[in-house]
Amino acid sequence: MGMTIAEKILAEHAGRGEVSPGEIINAKVDIVLANDITAPIAIKEFEKLGVRDVFDREKIALVPDHFTPQKDIKAAEQCKMLREFAQKYKIKHYFEIGRVGIEHALLPEEGIVLPGDLVIGADSHTCTYGALGAFATGVGSTDAAIAMATGECWFKVPETIKFIYYGKTQKWVGGKDLILYTIGDIGVDGASYMAMEFCGEVIENMPMSGRFSMCNMAIEAGAKAGIIAPDKITEEYVKHRAKRPYKFVSSDIDAKYHEIKEYNCSEIPPIVACPHLPSNIKPAAELSHIKIDQVVIGSCTNGRLEDLREAAMVLKGRKVHPEVRMIIIPATQKIYMDALNEGLIQIFIEAEAVVSPPTCGPCLGGHMGILAKGERAIATTNRNFVGRMGHPESEVYLSNPAVAAASGILGRIGTPEELGL
């Protein structure tokens, strides 16, 4: 019997010829990731083990990105713990302020995660790296600690659901809309502990930015991983970034799937997820009665250069509504610089938006964009749970960058078409 991409990567890293869904295995990992919220817990657990060193100082990444630039004393102490651990064990991939970025945009950009890798991260959106054809999944801080010491982690081999996207996408529809539509279809537990394999002609023609968005939100359907078979678009992205060998892996023709779902993308409009679940979706055009107070464009889901370009196309020559605050967050320093060189930052500032340094900040209700009681935000982030961006009685709507930008201009949820775009 053939195997899926997910099964093949797990089998290889477990030193096995094959694995089957449901099996519990131990496997060697290529990268262990943690951030300023999860790493301190992992570090404390690591120190309890009594080991003298990490398993490989080039295979651990520490990225302080959630409450940075440090918002208060506690955040500063958390980041200090990462810095001291990185210095003590000479961790190669430690990223301090000025060199940092949102972890799930930064690691692919730096060529730290690559096709064929097995990656674990003490952050649920580690599944983002599946866009490169890696098996990447979130784990708890204790598992991360053990992996930092041993280079191994345990896995239950997941079943895989295959999602096929065909047809021609509508204008202003991208990866964010497709994954929101998919989650709306199957529900927030529709792929619980499974791998979501995205394929079809639409995916084959999708840029890496859209692929990252889709795999990033696989966890919002309960998935263990999101994954896309690497191809020439993947190769173009990684070939100048990779500093070590990588491997393209694809599913066998006779691979067994738990289920196969197909979507005609010509029928999918720009989508918005309404409070308080990513599955509570509606077409953006049906929500024009929803007034907003804040727009956030950024995050590990949609903070890449392509996302900023999309927002700039909508904002150019226009002003953010006087009753709305718009926060734009380039996901890495390189993305920030590229946006500056392309004139995007000027467009944002002239539109009366504010541009932040790279941070997860408002996405998790951390800082730089907290909502007050009764306020509403539309954001390109990945979660809209109760209290996610601030007060428990605030509301978050999720969308793509173009819809978020248009909404910021209109002062209510709206579409670029309403602005004649």
DSSP codes of every residue in 140-170: -HHHHHHHHHHSEEEEEPPPEEEEEEES-PP
| Residue 289: other Cβ atoms inside 10 A | 7
Specify the pLDDT at position 97.
86
Specify the pLDDT at position 176.
98
Specify the pLDDT at position 1.
79
Residue 145 in this model has a pLDDT that exceeds 90: yes
| Residue appearing with tokens 């430690």 | 94
| Residue 360: other Cβ atoms inside 10 A | 29
| Residue 253: other Cβ atoms inside 10 A | 6
Over residues 242-255, the pLDDT tens digits come to 999 999 999 999 99
- CA-based nearest residue to 161, from 230, 91, 98, 222: 222
The separation between CA 267 and the C-alpha centre of its own chain, rounded to angstroms, equals 25
Q: CA angle at residue 24 from 23 to 25, to 5 degrees?
A: 110
Residue 300 in this model has a pLDDT that exceeds 90: yes
Cα separation values, 22 from 25, 98, 117, 210, 388, Å:
9, 43, 21, 30, 33
- Domains of the chain listed by start with CATH number: 5-262 (3.30.499.10), 271-419 (3.30.499.10)
Q: Which two tokens stand for residue 370?
A: 């907290």
In angstroms, the CA 81 to CA 236 distance is 37
Q: Is 231 exposed, middle or buried (0-12, 13-18, 19+ CB in 10 A)?
A: middle
Over residues 371-401, the pLDDT tens digits come to 999 999 999 999 999 999 999 999 999 999 9
Pairing of strands 294-297, 376-379: parallel
Specify the pLDDT at position 342.
98
CA 176, 180, 186, 191 torsion-angle sign: positive
Give 191's pLDDT tier (boundaries 50, 70, 90).
Answer: very high
In angstroms, the CA 173 to CA 223 distance is 23
Supply the Cα-derived Rg of the chain in whole angstroms: 20
Q: Which two tokens stand for residue 91?
A: 């961790």
In angstroms, the CA 148 to CA 307 distance is 34
Buried b (16+ CB within 10 A) or exposed e, 19-56: bebeeebebbbbbbbbbbbbbbbbbebbeeeeeeebbe
Bond before 69 cis per omega within 30 degrees: yes
Residue 218 in this model has a pLDDT that exceeds 90: yes
Asked whether 282 and 271 are in contact (CB, 8 A), the reply is: yes
Residue 410 in this model has a pLDDT that exceeds 90: yes
Give first-to-last CA distance, the chain, whole Å.
50
Over residues 9-66, the pLDDT tens digits come to 999 999 999 999 999 999 999 999 999 999 999 999 999 999 999 999 999 999 999 9
- Percent of the chain with pLDDT strictly greater than 70: 100
Q: Which two tokens stand for residue 93?
A: 């991939």
In angstroms, the CA 283 to CA 369 distance is 25
Asked whether 57 and 91 are in contact (CB, 8 A), the reply is: yes
Over residues 164-178, the pLDDT tens digits come to 999 999 999 999 999
Asked whether 131 and 212 are in contact (CB, 8 A), the reply is: yes
Residue 39: partners with Cβ closer than 8 Å, 6 or more residues away: 62, 64, 78, 81, 82, 85, 122, 141, 144
Average pLDDT, the chain: 96
In angstroms, the CA 353 to CA 172 distance is 21
In angstroms, the CA 145 to CA 151 distance is 10
Q: How many CA atoms within 13 Å lie on the side-chain side of 357? A: 14
Compute, in degrees rounded to 10, the torsion defined by CA atoms 21, 24, 26, 28: 20
In angstroms, the CA 316 to CA 377 distance is 21
Specify the pLDDT at position 299.
96
Asked whether 161 and 147 are in contact (CB, 8 A), the reply is: no
Helix, coil or strand: residue 414: coil
In angstroms, the CA 137 to CA 226 distance is 9
The residues with which 25 forms a beta bridge, in sequence order, are: 155
